[in-house]
Structure 1
Amino acid sequence: MTTPATTDSTPAHTRAEPSPRSKPNARWLSRTAVNGALLLSVGYTLFPLLWLITASTKDTGGLLGGDAFSFKGFDLGRNLSDLASYNDGVYFRWYLNSLLYAGGGALVCALISVAAGYAFDKYRFRGKEKLFGVVLLGVLVPSTALALPMYLLASRTGLVNTYWSVLIPVLVNPFGVYLSRVFSASYIPDEALEAARIDGAGELRAFWSIGLRMVMPGFVTVFLFQFTAIWNNFFLPLVMLSDQKLFPLSLGLYSWNSNTHAEPSFYPLVVTGSLLAVLPLVIAFVALQRHWKAGLTAGSVK
């Protein structure tokens, strides 16, 4: 004979339930794990910057002696003085060149990208999506693969070893065009442009006075992305430039670092110069972050 299966006749309200204390403990452990991961990420990110700050106060002996993390022998002023006086202050000429390449190039590139993205979003014309597909293909091509063709074009037009050989190639950014189209579709309502046209504004006036102002978070985003890319650009100036006076910081510091094996006295110059090279990126992101915050909250309240 088979015995019938026993059923649980225990009332639901008498069954064991998790202790109410376990929920706060689990929540506390989860919060601790998240905060711990964030602290590790922050430490990993700031560790090279901390080393750069302390190492820039050392002389050659302190750097080669492995004492870079201590503030013993703090003498940042001497390193800055040596940096400014070496080779008639060529470092600060490189600094101005980088500001010209990155600042001017990123500003014009952001304007071109926003205008192109605005046109792809708001206008209808023949072959628009196919042309936009070609733009997206440009995102997939690495910039290093285009350096040699750009050099050949620059040599054919006589632009090699000039400011224009570095400035012109960075004025167009396919990813910036794609990003600008997304921002234009999100932040510029068609009704605002129609109202401007009814009031008699032309297409350029509507874009400049209404479209560009509404899509300013996208403009700032493209500007910062391009500014960072141009500031850290190395391969294009290496291919295009041979005159040391036209070097950006990335190429100039590389040339100094190549001399450290023969002349260790270049180590403090490279480290101190690298510290100063970080400052424009930090200033740009801190000064323009309010536009990102405005862009994140725009349209959340109707």
Structure 2
Amino acid sequence: MSSTSSPVTTDSQPASVPATGPTKGAPRLRTPRKHVPGRPKRSVPLTLLTGLVLLYTLVPLAWLVISATKTQEGLADSSGLWFAHDFALWDNISQTFTYDDGIFVRWLLNTLLYVVLGAGGATLLAILGGYALAKFTFPGKRAVFAVVIGAVAVPGTALAVPTFLMFSKMGLTDTPWAVIIPSLVSPFGLYLMWVFATEAIPVELLEAARIDGAGEVRTFFQVALPLLAPGIVTVLLFTTVATWNNYFLPLIMLKDPDWYPLTLGLSAWNAQAETIGGDVIFNLVITGSLLTIVPLIIAFLLLQKYWQSGLAAGSVKE
């Protein structure tokens, strides 16, 4: 005897409900978007703020690039954020390098000199000091830390006048050393290398190198220095930008235009319009300003790989 099973139905509960589409006229509920773990959430205010910051950064740069393509007459006859009827960028660059017997080239070489000796020396001292403070213990280490933090908090302009008086007593004013020697001191660079060396160099690597018979100098150059590459590049860029854009210190230290950096030289060109009989060369000032920032942009673009390669520096598997 066989029997077939059949669904039991009642008046209150049907056996099956046919699948139908949404009822006409009923409100459609929006399915909330699920957040994917590890993916940052979207923030409209943060996006708007980032757009404003980007606009604030790029508009002056766009104005500088566009204005560098105009002649002196074109700067007055055209809109600031659009090109003039003639394209004079290459003529402006040529005139910038040849105006006043090529003094712009001399200012460029002076700036490179200050950057190589000043910023390069500051980076070297920051590397040595930061590594020593991070990996060695000695009496007075806390006092050194307090001095470094205090020096970071003091603005450079506050020390300009005392520095001028001291260099004047030594007879070093109006010489390149008056700009190079103060640039060798970078409290922020020292503090940054101190913090970076503390995290990026595992103590186990140093102990292993010492057990293998390596001296402190060899350990520093072969073990520690490669791990410090991202921090070195960061400090080098900070000191380079600070020295390249330094204006107030050369202003009070230098009188001879032959030792001017680019910042002070372009300011002198710009001031010519305010003197009786002076040449109005705003087009050359703008073009020179554009040429001044190009090396910094190139340096940032070329050194990005060191930051990317150092993201995992110092990680040790426990």
For the superposition of Structure 1 and Structure 2, which TM-score range results when normalised by the shorter chain? 0.7 to 0.9
AA matched with 1:91:
F
- Indicate whether 1:60 and 2:72 are aligned: yes
2:202/2:314 contact within 8 Å kept: no
Structure 2 match to 1:189: 202
Query: In the TM superposition, what whole-angstrom CA distance separates every residue of 1:66-85 from its partner, at most 9, and x where no partner exists?
Result: 43333221111211121122
- Indicate whether 1:287 and 2:297 are aligned: no
Cα distance in 2, alignment partners of residues 202 and 260 from structure 1:
62
- Indicate whether 1:38 and 2:50 are aligned: yes
1:117/1:181 contact within 8 Å kept: yes
2:174/2:256 contact within 8 Å kept: yes
User: Shift in Å at residue 32 of structure 1?
Assistant: 5.9
Query: In the TM superposition, what whole-angstrom CA distance separates every residue of 1:163-218 from its partner, at most 9, and x where no partner exists?
Result: 11101111121111111111111111112112222233222222122212111111
AA matched with 1:222:
V
Cα distance in 2, alignment partners of residues 119 and 238 from structure 1:
35
Structure 1 residues 1-302: aligned runs within 5 Å? 19-23=29-33, 30=42, 34-71=46-83, 72-262=85-275, 263=278, 265-299=280-314, 302=317
Aligned length: 282
Structure 2 match to 1:10: none
Cα distance in 2, alignment partners of residues 42 and 289 from structure 1:
19
Cα distance in 2, alignment partners of residues 142 and 218 from structure 1:
23
TM-score by length of 2: 0.83
1:62/1:68 contact within 8 Å kept: no
Question: Bigger CA drift: 249-258 or 151-160?
Answer: 151-160
AA matched with 1:64:
A
2:227/2:313 contact within 8 Å kept: no
Query: In the TM superposition, what whole-angstrom CA distance separates every residue of 1:198-247 from its partner, at most 9, and x where no partner exists?
Result: 23322222212221211111111111111111111101000111110110
Structural RMSD (CA): 2.2
AA matched with 1:144:
T
Cα distance in 2, alignment partners of residues 299 and 124 from structure 1:
20
1:60/1:264 contact within 8 Å kept: no
AA matched with 1:21:
T
- Bigger Rg, which one: 2
Cα distance in 1, alignment partners of residues 241 and 63 from structure 2:
21
User: Shift in Å at residue 41 of structure 1?
Assistant: 2.5
CA separation of 1:39 and 1:112: change in aligned 2, threshold 3 A: same
User: Shift in Å at residue 30 of structure 1?
Assistant: 4.2
CA separation of 1:299 and 1:206: change in aligned 2, threshold 3 A: closer
Other structure's SS at 2:293 match: helix
Question: Bigger CA drift: 30-39 or 199-208?
Answer: 30-39
Cα distance in 1, alignment partners of residues 279 and 257 from structure 2:
21
User: Shift in Å at residue 45 of structure 1?
Assistant: 0.8
AA matched with 1:244:
P
More helix by share: 1
Identity of aligned residues (%): 46
Structure 2 match to 1:7: none
Other structure's SS at 1:70 match: coil
Cα distance in 2, alignment partners of residues 159 and 211 from structure 1:
37
Cα distance in 2, alignment partners of residues 175 and 196 from structure 1:
30
Other structure's SS at 2:274 match: coil
2:107/2:258 contact within 8 Å kept: yes
AA matched with 1:145:
A
Contiguous gaps of at least 5 residues in structure 2: 1-27
User: Shift in Å at residue 22 of structure 1?
Assistant: 4.7
